[in-house]
Structure 1
Amino acid sequence: MSGIALFPVFLVGLLGSVHCAGMCGGIVGALSLAGPSPQPAYPGPAFPVPVRTVRAAPEALRVAAYNGGRIASYMAAGALAGGAAGALALRSLPALQAGAYWMANLMLVALGLFLMDAWRGLARLEQGGQALWRRLAPLRRRLGPPATPARMLAAGALWGWLPCGMVYSVLATAMLSGSALGGAAVMLAFGLGTLPMLAALGLAGQRLRTRLGERRVRIAAGLVVAAFGLLGLARAAGGLPGGWIEVLCLSPRGAA
């Protein structure tokens, strides 16, 4: 296995980012825009953003710094996941590799159902990550109001560890890469996929967030994401040939 095809991971981030509109959209808007701070959908501590400080840096720069920190944290988590799998000799054990491949695509189907609100199993994974978030939340309070790009970068880096079922589902694919570098690359592709949506949310605010929260939008995105996982499972079962289908499957590059 020489790595993971990254294009479908990017698409998962792009389509799955409709979930980010509800999960992080209010926080991004509060950090980026002047005015009252919307409360986050996640029941963790909100970011206190005094109106008098949010204008201290250009809006686009604050959004870029926040997302840069967030994606850096995704890459760090991916490196940990891929490195751990590499330490278990995932690449050299075909049975473990095949099991990880099935798990990654099953997680993708679960993510599609999660986006459609058809099955909330991934929410249980988010609950499991709350212990880590409780340890990180005090660091955010010590940063103070995110009035500068440096503080926005740090705030984004901390917020990247927020318990999120969508991130956890892609981390299963990062493990499949079998190396720290491959895992970081997977999460970079995912983070770049979420970037257009979260950048737009930071700049456009509540109106876009409301539109993306519509049920029909979530169902459409969830169906496509679940289809990626089903294609991967069909290929794992030998029902689909290689070639062009690899572009749409979370499959190891060069795998038979």
Structure 2
Amino acid sequence: MNVSLFPVFLVGLAGSVHCAGMCGGIVGALSVARGPVAAPAFPVPVRTVPVRSLAPVAHVAAYNAGRIASYATAGALAGGLAGSVAGLASLPALQSGAYVLANLMLVALGLYLMDAWRGLAVLEQGGQALWRHVSPLLRRLGPGTTPGRMFAAGALWGWLPCGMVYSMLVTAMLSGSALGGAGVMLAFGLGTLPMLAAIGLAGVKLRSLFRMHRVRLVCGLVILAFGLLGLARVAGGSAAGVPAHWIDVLCITQGAGA
């Protein structure tokens, strides 16, 4: 199936306000490994890196590279799983149903960011079983004083139970292949990169800004609109006078090659 990567990138960009609220998890895990040393501002250990050096930038880059790599891996698994039932996925009714589900997940994500409905929290609770096996590895890494350790920390943190990631994995399944699924999650991860990189370099004050309710509300409304427009397009129409070709560009829909 065809999945446009541009709306996936936009969802990652708008939805990364959720990531700002979840940064404390990895900071806590790294601080456990540090022992008595004060926990740094996510994700750069500023107490152990000279301020004037380029090390903070390298650490932030390594951390986010690991995180996005884990997203791409999860996307490849999801897309490969869907590709294994390619015969069923070629049925028009199932294709339409899959696109409806993907856009419903966007609606749920938008409401989740707005704190209007916490349904995705159920998925995050379901992912706790996996995280119980991953989190001990994070604690064993020790202080994040090298890019290698920060890459490994990011790769592990990418498996943290997250409703936003789970909602995008549904879209990754629409690609119908491991390569396509990896591409979807890579686009999503790159969308989250600007905000998380900024948080990593600027520290706690910027994280607090992105956690403000009105910021989450605006970003949630954007994603909610993506989902509703996508549902309108799957139904075969346009929404609020928006031309169909613009909806195809901005939303997860059945394109010409689907």
TM-score norm. by structure 1 comes to 0.88
CA contact (8 A) 1:29 1:202 kept: no
Q: Distance in 2 between matches of 1:133 and 1:39?
A: 22
Q: Which residue of 1 aligns with 2:21?
A: 22
Q: Which residue of 1 aligns with 2:123?
A: 125
Q: Distance in 2 between matches of 1:29 and 1:140?
A: 10
Q: Distance in 1 between matches of 2:144 and 2:63?
A: 10
Q: Which residue of 2 aligns with 1:44?
A: none
Measure how far apart 1:134 and its partner are: 0.6
**1:196 maps onto 2:194 in alignment:** yes
- The one-character-per-residue Cα deviations of 1:12-60 (angstroms, maximum 9, x if unpaired) are 00000111111126746997xxx832699xxxxxx9x987645597000
Q: Distance in 2 between matches of 1:51 and 1:218?
A: 28
CA contact (8 A) 1:57 1:149 kept: no
Measure how far apart 1:157 and its partner are: 0.3
Q: Distance in 2 between matches of 1:66 and 1:25?
A: 14
Q: Distance in 2 between matches of 1:111 and 1:255?
A: 26
- The one-character-per-residue Cα deviations of 1:49-88 (angstroms, maximum 9, x if unpaired) are 9876455970000000000000000000000111101111
Q: Distance in 2 between matches of 1:189 and 1:50?
A: 28
CA contact (8 A) 1:74 1:160 kept: yes
1:1-256 map, 5 Å? 1=1, 3-24=2-23, 27=26, 36-37=38-39, 53-54=48-49, 58-89=55-86, 90-240=88-238, 242-255=244-257
Measure how far apart 1:206 and its partner are: 1.0
How high is the sequence identity, in percent, across the aligned residues?
A: 73
Unmatched segments (≥5 aa) in structure 1: 41-46
- The one-character-per-residue Cα deviations of 1:140-167 (angstroms, maximum 9, x if unpaired) are 1222222110111111000000000000
Q: Which residue of 1 aligns with 2:33?
A: none
Distance 1:119 1:107, change over 3 A: same
CA contact (8 A) 2:68 2:189 kept: yes
Measure how far apart 1:252 and its partner are: 3.8
Q: Which residue of 2 aligns with 1:43?
A: none
Query: What amino acid maps onto 1:126 in structure 2?
Result: E
Q: Alpha carbon RMSD of aligned pairs, Å?
A: 2.6
Aligned length: 246
Moved more, 177-186 or 86-95: 86-95
CA contact (8 A) 2:237 2:244 kept: no
Query: What amino acid maps onto 2:22 in structure 1?
Result: M
